[in-house]
Structure 1
Amino acid sequence: MHDTIIDIVAGVFMILGCLMSLAAGIGLLRFPDLLSRMHAATKPQVLGLFLLLSALGLELRSWAVVPVLLLAWIVQLLTAPVSAHMVGRAGYRTRHLKRDTLVADELATVVEEAGRRESRDQGENPPTDRTDFMD
């Protein structure tokens, strides 16, 4: 009886984890801009992975695998927001997002100030012997 309950809980966790991962994949395909796709790639994916790893831990019924599963989830939990942040900033700087969908644009003043500072610095010390591949 006890094993049956654990199997049912593990099955529910597997189904929910797969649905969360499916939602992340559909969001990547269907959302209109970079920021919403980035959100879809990180939020449900981390929860989906947690549910799948929990189901795996329940099904294996061994405490020896718990640290490995926990480590896998913590690494995902730490890397997903950092990578999403980097993709978001790169998308913002390269203008690969829809500005009309932004509710608040707190980064605009920072980017404008950095651009002014960079142009001022280049005016004082023009680059010598430099090749710009980005232009």
Structure 2
Amino acid sequence: MRLVFVIALLAVGVAVSTSGAVGILRMPDVYLRIQCSSKPVTLGALPVLVALVIAKGPVSSYGGRALIVAVLLLVMNPLATHALARAAYSVGIPMWSGAVVDQAAARAAGPTAAPHPGGGQPADREG
């Protein structure tokens, strides 16, 4: 029964990683490619690491290391992805022309470009 779970988790990990590779090839700009590369790393590697833990046991040297790698992956991958996207944006790499809105540019332009959702500036309201 354990072998069935291991094979299923490995299949899920390989499928998600493959879809991420296809997404990297298909996406038009660097920001969408960053998204297509970060999510499959997390969602593709975690099932493989969990399959290793199930196959070898959590107390074995392989299982313990796989759990440590999984925790580090869950923490560091979103942080690294965010830093990479921010660095690309701050350097001035253009967004895809079909992008709907550039929220960071609206925030940087000041309060006149992006009104407060409540209808006015937060400082104008009386409590």
Task: Measure the CA separation in 2 of the matches of 1:62 and 1:69.
Answer: 8
Which of residues 56, 61, 65 in structure 1 aligns to 2:57? 61
TM-score, with length taken from structure 2: 0.73
Query: Which piece of structure 1 moves more, 47-56 or 18-27?
Result: 18-27
Task: Measure the CA separation in 2 of the matches of 1:32 and 1:102.
Answer: 10
Contact 2:28-2:96 within 8 A present in 1 as well = no
Match in the other structure for 1:119: none
Q: Shift in Å at residue 36 of structure 1?
A: 0.9
Q: Shift in Å at residue 78 of structure 1?
A: 1.5
Match in the other structure for 1:89: 86
Q: Shift in Å at residue 109 of structure 1?
A: 4.0
Superposition map of 1:1-135 within 5 A: 5-64=1-60, 65-112=62-109
Q: Shift in Å at residue 108 of structure 1?
A: 0.8
Structure 2: state its 5+ residue gaps: 111-127
Contact 1:35-1:97 within 8 A present in 2 as well = no
How many equivalent residue pairs? 109
TM-score, with length taken from structure 1: 0.69
SS of the counterpart of 2:9?
helix
Rg bigger for which structure? 1
Contact 2:57-2:63 within 8 A present in 1 as well = no
Task: Measure the CA separation in 1 of the matches of 2:16 and 2:58.
Answer: 25
SS of the counterpart of 1:102?
coil
Match in the other structure for 1:121: none
Runs of 4+ in 1 over 6 A off after TM superposition: none
Contact 2:12-2:44 within 8 A present in 1 as well = yes
Structure 1: state its 5+ residue gaps: 114-135
In the alignment, residue 45 of structure 1 is paired with which amino acid?
Answer: V
